[in-house]
Amino acid sequence: MLTNVLCKPILKILSCLEFITDHFLYTFFQARKTSLATRRKSVDCYTSQMRPPDKNLQHIPVLRDTFTLESGDEHSTVYSILNPQSEETIIDVTLGLGGHAIGFLERIGPTGKLIGIDADPENIRLAEERLEPWKDQTTIIHGNFRDLQSLDLPTVDILFADLGLSSPHLDDAARGFTFREDGPLDLRFDRTRGKTAAEWIASCSEKSLSHIFHAYGELREHRRLASVIVRALQGEKRGFSTTAALRSLIEKTFGYRAPQLLPQVFQALRIAVNDELGALGSLLEHGPSLLKTGGRMGIISYHSLEDRMVKQAFRALSTGTKDERTGGIAVPASFKLLTKKAVVPCPEEIARNPRSRSAKFRAMTKLKIQETRYKE
Ligand SMILES: C[S@@+](CC[C@H](N)C(=O)[O-])C[C@H]1O[C@@H](n2cnc3c(N)ncnc32)[C@H](O)[C@@H]1O
């Protein structure tokens, strides 16, 4: 009781102090930001991930190019691990702008086949232009890799995925993936279906918003953010239709900490709006059965939630089932890991393409089906 009486005013004073400090620091940093911007117009006030929009809509594929390390060895690439051979058939389920696909096509030669899938019709259009020289051996499908089962695909030698978003998504403010510039709060890979981020936020309860910010953005302040969003929605009755409106609310609420939180908030929204983890779960469930014997499956992921799912699924498939009685292998594994540890870009690649810095690549190969059971 006494503790309660003493603690309440102290907590109130502490929270006032936090508010004053936040606002003082926010004002200080805003002023500093303006002065820096005047001195050097191109200074990026946030992270290096955000760049001025690239009007040519380029995307540098990750782990595609060969880099020679100081030791003289060549750093592993998607191709050195998945080892595409002439005449093979490949599915690239995240075609993007076709960067990795071109590398596969060059290796499988004129008798090989490539099937490219992407959820984004705008990227499909760009990829079609780039893959024009190989059009006779390429099939391009607008679709989501969550629906692999219903796409009527053949069995293949390689199944490849390079998850997440492409550079044009970030560079084109009209897509709503970047908070650096104003644009519609959309964040969908596929603008032909589903709810935009703005619509999605408006339809979410405070509890689910808080869960999303916590689970997908790893935000410590998830409860406070969900609460201010819901209060703002109730107050204005207009929702957040633009990236600038959401950013401004976050800046007002979190002051000088906003620049660190904004990437996490936008990442969380993107994962939720596109149900990225649900789609990956489906890919991990159905992708392996599309491989021929000897076929290879490889996935590049960009955040720990995705990488954990890939690692666990590949490990499970590459581990035989033990006989509980004898401890021996009862059912041998039908896959073998091609990457014991995740392959990450070398420092030279990260220096050239900072967006590659969080990439992790894992791969496995399908073994001959061994019907024989462990015999005592
Ligand atoms: C990192 S980019 C791929 C870039 C590509 N490897 C290249 O070199 O140009 C990821 C692509 O996957 C697409 N994508 C994301 N989730 C998807 C899904 N569930 N189904 C199909 N495509 C998806 C995005 O639209 C984006 O074009």
pLDDT at 105: 98
Q: What percentage of residues in the chain have a pLDDT greater than 70?
A: 82
Distance 36 CA to ligand 1 centre (A): 36
Whether residue 123 is predicted with pLDDT greater than 90 in this model: the reply is yes
pLDDT at 324: 81
Q: What percentage of residues in the chain have a pLDDT greater than 90?
A: 71
Q: Is the CB of 118 under 6 A from ligand 1?
A: yes
Find the range with the poorest average confidence among 44-53, 145-154, 256-265: 44-53
pLDDT at 373: 43
pLDDT at 290: 97
Query: Can you tell me the mean pLDDT for 220-224?
Result: 94
Distance 260 CA to ligand 1 centre (A): 26
Whether residue 42 is predicted with pLDDT greater than 60 in this model: the reply is no
Distance 95 CA to ligand 1 centre (A): 6
Answer left, alpha or beta for residue 239, where phi above 0 means left and psi between -120 and 50 means alpha.
left
Closest residue (by CA) to atom 4 of ligand 1? Answer: 96
Q: Give the tens place of pLDDT for each residue, 190-211.
A: 999 999 999 999 999 999 999 9
Whether residue 5 is predicted with pLDDT greater than 60 in this model: the reply is no
Q: Give the tens place of pLDDT for each residue, 47-77.
A: 223 333 344 668 899 999 889 888 888 899 9
Whether residue 234 is predicted with pLDDT greater than 90 in this model: the reply is no
pLDDT at 39: 31
246-250: long-range contacts, CB 8 A cutoff, minimum separation 24: 246/179, 246/185, 247/179, 250/225
pLDDT at 368: 80
Query: Can you tell me the mean pLDDT for 90-97?
Result: 98
* pLDDT band of 231, cuts 50, 70, 90: confident
Distance 110 CA to ligand 1 centre (A): 25
Distance 182 CA to ligand 1 centre (A): 23
pLDDT at 240: 76
Cα 301 from chain centre: 6
Burial call 131-157: b when 16+ CB within 10 Å, e when fewer? beebeebbebbbbbbbebeebebeebb
pLDDT at 13: 57
In the chain, DSSP assigns E strands to: 89-92, 113-118, 138-142, 156-162, 291-301, 321-322, 329-331, 335-337, 360-366
Closest residue (by CA) to atom 18 of ligand 1? Answer: 144
In angstroms, how far is the first alpha carbon of the chain from the final one?
Answer: 68
Atom of ligand 1 nearest to the CA of 279: 19
* pLDDT band of 93, cuts 50, 70, 90: very high
Per-domain residue ranges for the chain? 78-167+277-366
pLDDT at 24: 46
CB neighbour class for 89 (10 Å; exposed up to 12, middle 13-18, buried from 19): buried
Query: Can you tell me the mean pLDDT for 171-175?
Result: 92
pLDDT at 9: 60
Q: How far apart are CA 280 and CA 349, in angstroms?
A: 26
Q: Is the CB of 146 under 6 A from ligand 1?
A: yes
Q: How far apart are CA 76 and CA 87, in angstroms?
A: 23
| Mean per-residue pLDDT of the chain | 85
Distance 123 CA to ligand 1 centre (A): 8
Q: How far apart are CA 29 and CA 258, in angstroms?
A: 11
- Write down the CATH superfamily of domain 78-167+277-366: Vaccinia Virus protein VP39 (3.40.50.150)
Find the range with the poorest average confidence among 41-55, 154-168, 230-244, 314-328: 41-55
Q: How far apart are CA 124 and CA 129, in angstroms?
A: 9
Q: Give the tens place of pLDDT for each residue, 102-115.
A: 999 999 999 999 99
Q: Is the CB of 287 under 6 A from ligand 1?
A: no
pLDDT at 328: 81
Residue scoring higher pLDDT (274 or 28): 274
